Amino acid sequence: MAPAPAPIPTPETREFWEGTARRELRIQRCTACGKHYFHPRPFCPDPTCASDAVEWTVVSGRARLSSYVINHRPLPMFEVTEPQIIAIVTLDEGPRMMTNLIGVDPDPELLVLNMPLEVDFVTRGEQWLPMFHPAVEEARR
Ligand SMILES: [Zn+2]
């Protein structure tokens, strides 16, 4: 299933979308147990913690490819006709995120699991969506 093309901010996600509009990837972190998490919610998702002492943080935007599908259905309302790579990436900070890969052909030979990725931001409707491209500084990681 594709991510929603132009999500509507809610009170819980407004900070996330304000971040992407500034080219920042913001997720939440629990200050009680120290874990980052996604999607946004007002309490820690770890059931052994469940603290409401949570804060928003700007994360590195670095991630690894965890899984993907190549979606050949076009999105004509956004004039997207090329195949889309819909991916699950694991942020360096820990949480997983559903996103799109860009800057790489939808060719399984180029899509190596665990490959390093970096965030980019692509406008779609009124929002800036975080998408990921292969890391350009892999040699330094
Ligand atoms: Zn916690």
SS3 7: coil
- Ligand 1 centre distance from Cα of residue 72 (Å): 39
- Ligand 1 centre distance from Cα of residue 44 (Å): 5
Confidence band, pLDDT 50/70/90 cuts, at residue 136: confident
**Domain architecture of the chain: domains with CATH:** 10-59 (no CATH), 60-141 (2.40.50.840)
- Ligand 1 centre distance from Cα of residue 57 (Å): 15
- The pLDDT score that the predictor gives to residue 126 is 85
- The pLDDT score that the predictor gives to residue 43 is 95
- Ligand 1 centre distance from Cα of residue 11 (Å): 21
- The pLDDT score that the predictor gives to residue 1 is 43
Measured CA to CA, the distance from residue 105 to residue 96 in angstroms comes to 22
